Amino acid sequence: MHTISTDRPRTDEWRTALTAGLWALPVSGALLTVSTLTHQPSYADDFPAYAAYVTTGTFLVSHLVASILGAALGIVGALSAVALAAGRVRRPRAALAGAALTVTGQVLSTAVFGVAAFAQPAIGRAHRSGVEEAVAWNSDVYGPALFGTVGVALLAWTAGAVLVGRELAAVDSGLRVAGLTYAVSLPLFYVAGPTVEVLQPVAGAAFTVAAVVLARRLPAPATARQRPAVAPAC
C-alpha cells in the first residue's frame, strides 16, 4: 500500500503564506513614511502650538494606523522575511537574534505610540481649555521612565534591523542592495527623528523601496531567478 506524501504541498502552503506576510514589510514602511511628513511642534518651545497639533484627528489616526498598526505589520514582515530566508542565511543565529530584537523594539515602541495617541490629545485639550497644570502633566508623562523605554526600544530596533538586513543581503547577490538598505535606512529613520526631521520620510521611503524588492525576490531562491530559459524541442 502506497502513501502519498503531503510534505511538498504543506511546504508550498507555508511559502505562500510567508510570501503574503512579507508584503506587510513595505506596507509598514509606507506607513512610517506618511507618518513623518509632518512633525509636532516642540512642547518646550511652543506649548500652545503643540497642544493644537496633538488634538487634531490626523494626529490620532497617524499614531493608531501608521505607528501602532505599522509596528504590527513590521513584525509580521520581518518574521516572514527571516522565515523565508531560513536555510539560505549564512548565520542563522544572527538572523534569529535580529528577528527577536526587531519584535522587542517594535513592541516597546508601541507603548510610546500609545501614550502619544491617547495621553497627548488629553493633555492638549486640557491646556486649550485653560488648565494650567497641563504643562506639568505633559512633563510628568514624558519623564525618565518613558525616555528610558524609548532608548531600549531604539537600541533593540536598530540592532534588529542591522542583523536582519545584513543576513538578507548575504542570501544572494540579487538581495544585497535591498538588504543593506534595510540595515541602514531603519536606524537612520529613528536617528533622524530628533535630529534632522526632513530625513525621516526619505529614510522611510528608502526602506519601503528596499522592502518591495525583498518581497518580490526573497521568496524565489537565486537558482530559480537565474535559471536560463529552455528552448522548446524541435
80-95 confidence digits (pLDDT tens): 999 999 989 999 999 9
Contact 165, 186 (CB under 8 A): yes
Grid cell for residue 128: 486649550
Specify if 91 maps to a domain.
Answer: yes
User: Is 101 part of any domain?
Assistant: yes
Helix-, strand-, coil-residue percentages of the chain, each rounded to 5: 75, 0, 25
Pairwise pLDDT comparison (177 vs 15), residue with the higher score: 177
Mean pLDDT of 171-178: 94
Q: Please give the pLDDT value at position 131.
A: 95
Report the range of poorest mean pLDDT among 62-76, 125-139, 186-200. Answer: 186-200
pTM, two decimal places:
0.85
Lowest mean pLDDT: which of 160-164, 175-179, 194-198? 194-198
pLDDT recorded at residue 4: 52
Identify whether 185 is part of a domain. Answer: yes
Question: Would 2 be classed as within a structural domain?
Answer: no
Extract the C-alpha cell encoding 115.
501614550
What is the share, in percent, of the chain residues with pLDDT greater than 90? 76
Work out the end-to-end distance of the chain between its first and last CA atoms, rounded to an integer number of angstroms.
40
pLDDT for the residue 10: 72
pLDDT at 234 over 60: no
Domain annotation covers residue 134: yes
**Cβ neighbour number for residue 103 with a 10 Å cutoff:** 18
Could you tell me if residue 136 is inside a domain? yes
C-alpha cell at 61: 489616526
> Does residue 161 sit within a domain?
yes
Torsion of CA 82, 83, 89, 92, to 10 degrees: 90
Q: How confident is the model at residue 6 (pLDDT cuts 50, 70, 90)?
A: low
Q: Taking Cα atoms as reference points, which of 7, 22, 3, 8 lies closest to residue 175?
A: 22
Domain count, the chain: 1
CB 217 within 8 A of CB 178: yes
In the chain, the amino acid numbered 100 is A
Residue 90 lies in a domain: yes
Does 5 score more than 60 pLDDT? no
Say whether pLDDT at 212 is over 80. Answer: yes
List, for residues 139-158, the tens digit of each pLDDT value: 999 999 999 999 999 999 99
User: For 16-41, what is the mean pLDDT?
Assistant: 93
47-69, pLDDT tens digit by residue? 999 999 999 999 999 999 999 99
| Residue 193: domain span | 16-219
Query: Is the model's pLDDT at 113 over the cut of 80?
Result: yes
